[in-house]
Amino acid sequence: MSPLAPLSSRPRRHARVLRLAVLLATTLAAVACGGGSASLPPATTSTPAPPAAAAFPRTVTDSSGTQVRLAAPARRVISLSPGLTEVLYAIGAGDRVVATDRFSDYPAAAAQTPKLEYSSPSAEATFAHAPDLVIMTGNQKPQVAQFRALGLPVLYLEEAPTVQAVLEHIALLGTLTAHDRAAQALVAAMRQRIEAVTAKLSTVTQGPRVFYELSPDLYTAAAESFIGGMLTLLKAQNAAQGATSAFPQLSAEAVIAFDPEVVLLTDAVSAKQSAETVAARPGWAHVAAVQRRRIHPIDADLVNRPGPRIAEGLETMARLLYPEQFR
75 plus 211 within the same structural domain: no
Per-residue confidence (pLDDT) for residue 139, from 0 to 100: 83
Reported as half-sphere exposure (CB side, CA atoms, 13 A), residue 215 has a value of 15
Residue at 7 is within a domain: no
Find how far residue 211's CA is from the centre of its chain.
19
169 plus 244 within the same structural domain: no
Residue at 10 is within a domain: no
What's the mean per-residue pLDDT of the chain?
Answer: 87
Residue at 327 is within a domain: no
- Total domains, the chain: 2
Whether pLDDT at 20 is above 60: no
CATH code of the domain in which 266 resides: 3.40.50.1980
39 — pLDDT class (breaks 50, 70, 90): low
246 plus 186 within the same structural domain: no
Per the structure, the complete domain to which residue 315 belongs is given by 204-321
Residue at 9 is within a domain: no
49 plus 191 within the same structural domain: yes
Whether pLDDT at 314 is above 70: yes
40 plus 154 within the same structural domain: yes
Whether pLDDT at 15 is above 50: no
Residue at 96 is within a domain: yes
Q: What is the pLDDT of residues 190-238, one digit of tens each?
A: 999 999 999 999 999 999 999 999 999 999 999 999 999 999 999 999 9
135 plus 208 within the same structural domain: no
Q: What is the pLDDT of residues 149-158, one digit of tens each?
A: 999 999 999 9
Helices of type H across 120-177: 123-128, 144-149, 163-177
Instruction: List, in order, residues 6 or more apart from 112 with CB less than 8 Å away.
Output: none
Over residues 92-120, mean pLDDT? 97
Last residue of a domain, one of 197, 230, 265: 197
Residue at 14 is within a domain: no
Q: What is the pLDDT of residues 50-92, one digit of tens each?
A: 455 458 999 999 999 999 999 999 999 999 999 999 999 999 9
191 plus 218 within the same structural domain: no
Per-residue confidence (pLDDT) for residue 54, from 0 to 100: 52
Last residue of a domain, one of 153, 175, 197: 197
127 — pLDDT class (breaks 50, 70, 90): very high
184 plus 211 within the same structural domain: no
Per-residue confidence (pLDDT) for residue 287, from 0 to 100: 98
Last residue of a domain, one of 197, 228, 246: 197
127 plus 166 within the same structural domain: yes
Whether pLDDT at 31 is above 70: no
Whether pLDDT at 34 is above 60: no
174 plus 39 within the same structural domain: yes
164 plus 216 within the same structural domain: no
Find how far residue 324's CA is from the centre of its chain.
27
Cα dihedral value 137, 141, 146, 148, nearest 10: 50
166 plus 35 within the same structural domain: yes
- Largest separation between any pair of C-alpha atoms in the chain: 64
**Residue 126 and residue 116 in contact, taking contact as beta carbons nearer than 8 Å:** yes
Whether pLDDT at 21 is above 70: no
